[in-house]
Structure 1
Amino acid sequence: MREGPDIARIASLVGDPARANMLTALMGGSALTASELALEAGVSLPTASSHLSKQVAGMIEAITGVAAAVGPQRVRPGPRDAAMRVARVCYDHLAGEQAVAMLDRLVARQVLLRDDKEIRLGPSAASHFAAIGIDFASKARRPVCRACLDWSVRRSHLAGTLGAAILDKILLEKWARREKDSRAVIFSPIGRQAFEKVFLA
């Protein structure tokens, strides 16, 4: 055997299309779960876990420059559908760019308080949400406020009973509708204005 780096072995590790997609996704610099990497690769979670066990992410950096010269760059992690990136349902609450912006604004106005990864009600929260017709106390069998890592933005949006109550409000007021056979939430032009006036102003 000749001395030197085992290029053939490394090439075989990235030769699998699914594994190459996962490695390239990791090069984006964001922390991705195994489920997200499986989606990026178009494989099942067990298959993704098998690929991850090979621990080959380190060598992708050396060939990224070559790959960039011969092909298009990968899409961002998260939903490929633009509508899903803007707003979607995550379990029972709103997610996506609109949801992250909403949480940021509520924190900036000190309606909600954020310490590290925890979110809690501010002193004016009860009166603030009561004034806009949002009742979260009736659903208080679980935490009122909880940070939930947003799949596409890679920052937190609001979960918990308050997050669920806000989504209920959005749909009840018909500011937005659920897209059929999808988790996307589609705002009407008037509904978007109303949402922004209430939550982003």
Structure 2
Amino acid sequence: MKEGPDIAQLGALIGDPARANMLTALMAGGALTASKLAAEAGVTVQTASSHLKKLESADLLIQRKQGRHRYFALADDDVGALLETMMGLAARRGLTRTRTGPKDPALRKARVCYNHLAGELGVALYDGLLASAMLDEVDGEPVLTEAGRERMMQFGIDLAALETQRRPLCRSCLDWSARRTHLAGSLGQTLLSRFESLGWARREAASRVVHFTERGETELLATFCRQDQNSHGNRSQRIMRDT
């Protein structure tokens, strides 16, 4: 008998179309009721409850109770990163949904990936941080430099509070649409919240889309993506031009 992690069990859990739709709906970073998830999956509430129990028992989801209502959310960053990676692989292999619409370009430009910024602007942010030496990569993972720490504190980020958390401060996440890296971890989440509090961006209700104002996009690029004309800068500029 083979020993080790059971990817077949994990694949079966995520691979069911109804459960996949539920997990995708939760990639917006919020918590949804069983009835809302049932609607997302196109199944009855009773059937949805059965699916949710399986996902919860595998620690892919967590349940939150508020009064008489129960809400479900992705368990942690690992689940969100796995789903984003699977979306990227599906896109690269041509395994895409046939239904497209006006939200598709908006999703590609800026969206929530569980709790942090993804899409073209998310990748441009990551490239800008690297090119300006605010981030470094060690063994393939991002590390905040001293220059980066100074800039983040100037931007109103409480790094001391973030570093008390069990989650990593910086983490790479493969962007499914840009097929490049964007910033996850507690810093990625806090930056997105900061962009919203400054009025630079807002999340679209019941969607993963993040809308940046013209001023907000300009400020984002000026604050974090000011670069010399090097490889990172050129890549970021190409990302911003392409759709």
Aligned length: 136
The letter of the residue matching 1:37 is A
1:157 alignment partner, one of 162, 182, 194: 182
Over 6 Å off, 4+ runs: none
Q: Which amino acid aligns with 1:118?
A: E
Q: How many Å separate the matches in 2 of 1:125 and 1:82?
A: 31
Native 8 Å contact 1:107 1:113 kept in 2:
yes
1:183 matched to 2:208? The reply is yes
Alignment check: 8 A CA contact 1:135 1:165 kept: no
Matching residue of 1:40: 95
| Alignment counterpart, residue 198 of structure 2, candidates 173, 189, 196 | 173
The corresponding residue for 1:7 is: none
Equivalent residue number for residue 81 of structure 1: 104
CA distance in 1, matches of 2:176, 2:193: 21
Q: TM-score, normalised by structure 1?
A: 0.61
Displacement after TM superposition at 1:35 (Å): 8.3
How many Å separate the matches in 1 of 2:88 and 2:152? 35
Q: 1-side partners of 2:151 and 2:122: how far apart?
A: 18
- For 1:4-19, what aligned pairs fall within 5 Å after superposition? none
Separation of aligned partners in 2, 1:96 and 1:35: 12
CA distance in 2, matches of 1:158, 1:197: 18
Identity of counterpart residues, as a percentage?
42
AA matched with 2:189: A
8 Å contact kept, 1:86–1:98: yes
Between the aligned partners of 1:41 and 1:81, the Cα distance in structure 2 is 12
Report 1:14-163 matches (<5 A): 33=86, 37=90, 40-42=95-97, 81-140=104-163, 141=165, 142-163=167-188
Structure 2 segments unaligned to the other structure (5+ residues)? 1-84, 227-243
Question: How far, CA to CA, are the matches of 2:112 and 2:90 in structure 1?
Answer: 20
Once the two structures are superposed, what CA deviation does each residue of 1:126-180 show, in whole Å capped at 9, x if it has no partner?
2111111122432331100100000101111000111011101101001011012
Q: Deviations over 1:32-80 (max 9, x none)?
A: 737853993549xxxxxxxxxxxxxxxxxxxxxxxxxxxxxxx9xxx97
Counterparts in 2 of 1:120 and 1:80: CA distance versus 1, 3 Å: same
1-side partners of 2:131 and 2:87: how far apart?
Answer: 33
Amino acid at match of 1:110: A
- 8 Å CA contact 2:123–2:181 kept in 1: the answer is yes
Match of 1:196 in 2: 221
**1:58-117 Cα deviation digits (max 9, x unpaired):** xxxxxxxxxxxxxxxxx9xxx970011011011111001111111111111111101352
Gap change, CA 1:80 and 1:176, over 3 Å in 2? closer
In 1: Cα distance, 2:173 partner to 2:148 partner? 19
Residues 123 and 186 of structure 1: CA distance in aligned 2, closer, same or farther (over 3 Å)? same
Secondary structure of the structure 1 residue equivalent to 2:95: helix
What is the DSSP-based 3-state SS (H/G/I as helix, E as strand, rest coil) of the residue aligned with 2:168?
Answer: coil
In structure 1, what is the Cα distance between the partners aligned to 2:88 and 2:180? 17
Larger gyration radius, structure 1 or structure 2 = 1
Aligned match of 1:52? none
Q: 1:40 is paired with a residue of what secondary structure?
A: coil
